[in-house]
Amino acid sequence: MVTMPAPLIVVTDAVSMAEAIRLYGIIPLFATKIPNYSIEELTPEGYLAFDGPQGIVSSPWDWKVTCVQMGEFAYGKFLL
In a domain, residue 80? The reply is no
Query: Is residue 3 domain-resident?
Result: no
For residue 38, give its domain range.
14-69
For residues 16 and 10, the answer to whether their CB atoms sit within 8 Å is yes
The answer as to whether 20 is a domain residue is: yes
Is there a domain that residue 37 lies in? yes
Report yes or no on 44 lying in a domain.
yes
Segment 30-79, tens digit of pLDDT = 998 888 899 999 999 888 876 555 665 688 988 999 999 999 999 988 77
pLDDT tens digit sequence for 16-42: 999 999 999 889 999 988 888 999 999
The answer to whether residue 48 sits within a structural domain is yes
- Please spell the DSSP secondary structure of 9-65, one letter per residue: ----SHHHHHHHHHHHSS--SS--SSTT-SHHHHS-GGGTSTT-TT-----HHHHHH
Per the structure, how many domains does the chain have? 1
Give domain status of residue 77, yes or no: no
Residue 8 resides in a domain = no
